[in-house]
């Protein structure tokens, strides 16, 4: 399916007759308000989680851009199809290389792609152009997650509109500044885990910080500093850096890694608490920019409606709810789930494995 003119339309890949027959009983019930249980049972063959060879075969071909024989012919598929296939291939190769480490799909992909030398020394990963993009995305993901947790922690420290524990901007600056270590910013930079090893190999500095940090706001500040250092020219190859900074990027964006790198330049010789206070100011300013961008007229009242959990009244901040601190989804777990449904991946004895079928269809090597 695809959306055209605001409505669902048939997509580029027509369903085979066997698949239409599979879903026909279920779709025929969709237009009815009341369905007897016995009729619903008869339509259960198309239910979520019920195996269907016809559906599995068709989805495998569509999602992996292959023909009925499991062969991929690039010119027969569009760019979006080839990109989707590349994502499956990269994950499959990561599982071949690191699946027995006992990690989930996302961490398995990080082990193979985000850090180390596999992206350049492994013949399968090195031959997939999209591997560079995944490296940039996974590295940027650390900075995005750090901002989300930092912002959620700041909002969590603020009270509601009833007046308990509302905060001034200065009190919010002090909240983070008081958690900052003694010394200047350059001292914090010197104490960061190494970002590179011999030959420019990327080392998992971000993972080290998450594993050894106390989980507090300053761990996230250090993650932002690592992202800033990785944004500098020459640290990442151009194709990786393009995705790390954003393909559509024309100049520095608010709170992106180059923005933080600019703060390093400005605050390098100043106390860390000064940088912490500045980060609070930047987060509050960005919150206001986002809120104003979402400003809408409320048709019920005719007034303006602000979509934000943080508000300011009489120069004091209050909240109407907390912010989420979970990482933005990368869809890697869902990719692995699809792979297991299609019989490309399996889990045995707590380890991820690519099946023989998956190795052949995805050309994932051994």
Burial class of 304 by CB neighbour count within 10 A (0 to 12, 13 to 18, 19+): exposed
Query: Distance between CA 100 and CA 347 in Å, rounded?
Result: 10
> 81-90, 153-162, 227-236: which has the minimum mean pLDDT?
153-162
pLDDT at 248: 62
pLDDT per position as a tens digit, 241-291:
999 998 666 666 789 999 999 999 999 999 999 999 999 999 999 999 998
pLDDT at 10: 84
At 177, is the secondary structure helix, strand, or coil?
helix
pLDDT at 252: 65
pLDDT per position as a tens digit, 338-359:
999 999 999 988 889 999 999 9
The H-assigned helical ranges of 65-116 are: 79-98, 105-109
Q: Which residue has the higher pLDDT, 22 or 161?
A: 22
pLDDT above 90 as % of the chain: 69
Give, rounded to a whole angstrom, the gap between the first and last alpha carbons of the chain. 35
Q: Kindly tell me if the per-residue pLDDT of 221 is higher than 90.
A: yes
Query: Distance between CA 302 and CA 296 in Å, rounded?
Result: 10
> 57-61, 161-165, 299-303: which has the minimum mean pLDDT?
161-165
Average pLDDT over residues 93-122: 94
pLDDT per position as a tens digit, 125-152:
999 999 999 999 999 999 999 999 999 9
pLDDT at 21: 85
pLDDT per position as a tens digit, 172-198:
999 999 999 999 999 999 999 999 999
pLDDT above 70 as % of the chain: 97
pLDDT at 300: 86
Q: Which helix (H) or strand (E) holds 222?
A: helix 217-230
pLDDT at 253: 79
pLDDT at 53: 86
Sign of the Cα pseudo-torsion (333, 352, 356, 19, in order): negative
Query: Hey, which bits of the chain come out as E strands?
Result: 2-4, 7-9, 296-297, 304-305, 310-313, 316-319, 345-348, 351-354
Q: Kindly tell me if the per-residue pLDDT of 211 is higher than 90.
A: yes
Look up the pTM and report it.
Answer: 0.89
Q: Count Cβ atoms below 10 Å from residue 107 Cβ, excluding itself.
A: 16
pLDDT at 249: 61
pLDDT per position as a tens digit, 39-98:
888 777 777 667 788 889 999 999 999 998 999 999 999 999 999 999 999 999 999 999
């Amino acid at each position: 399916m695809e959306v055209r003119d605001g409505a669902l339309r048939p997509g580029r890949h027509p369903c085979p007759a066997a698949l239409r027959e599979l879903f026909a009983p279920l779709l025929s019930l969709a237009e009815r308000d009341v369905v007897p249980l016995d009729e619903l049972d008869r339509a259960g063959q198309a239910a979520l989680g019920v195996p269907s060879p016809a559906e599995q075969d068709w989805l495998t071909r569509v999602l992996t851009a292959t023909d009925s024989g499991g062969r991929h012919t690039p010119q027969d598929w569009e760019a979006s199809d080839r990109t989707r296939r590349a994502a499956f291939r990269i994950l499959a190769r990561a599982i071949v290389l690191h699946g027995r480490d006992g990690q989930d799909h996302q961490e398995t992909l990080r082990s193979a792609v985000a850090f180390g030398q596999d992206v350049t020394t492994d013949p399968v990963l090195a031959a997939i152009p999209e591997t560079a993009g995944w490296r940039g995305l996974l590295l940027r993901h650390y900075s995005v997650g750090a901002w989300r947790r930092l912002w959620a922690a700041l909002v969590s420290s603020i009270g509601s509109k009833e007046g308990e524990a509302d905060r001034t901007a200065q009190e919010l600056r002090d909240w983070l500044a008081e958690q900052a270590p003694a010394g200047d910013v350059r001292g914090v930079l010197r104490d960061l885990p190494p970002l590179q090893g011999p030959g420019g190999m990327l080392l998992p500095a971000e993972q080290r910080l998450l594993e050894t940090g106390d989980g507090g706001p300053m761990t996230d500040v250090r993650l932002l500093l690592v992202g800033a250092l990785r944004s500098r020219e020459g640290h990442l190859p151009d194709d990786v850096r393009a995705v790390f900074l954003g393909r559509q990027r024309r100049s520095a964006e608010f709170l992106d890694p180059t923005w933080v790198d600019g703060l390093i330049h400005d605050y390098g010789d100043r106390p860390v608490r000064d940088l912490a206070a500045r980060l609070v100011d930047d987060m509050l300013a960005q919150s206001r920019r986002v809120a104003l961008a979402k400003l809408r007229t409320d048709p019920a009242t005719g007034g303006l409606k602000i979509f934000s959990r943080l508000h300011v009244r009489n120069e004091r901040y209050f909240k109407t709810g907390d912010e989420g601190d979970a990482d933005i989804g990368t869809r890697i777990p869902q990719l692995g789930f699809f792979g297991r449904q299609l019989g490309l991946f399996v889990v045995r004895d707590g380890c991820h494995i690519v099946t023989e079928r998956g190795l052949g269809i995805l050309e994932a090597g051994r």
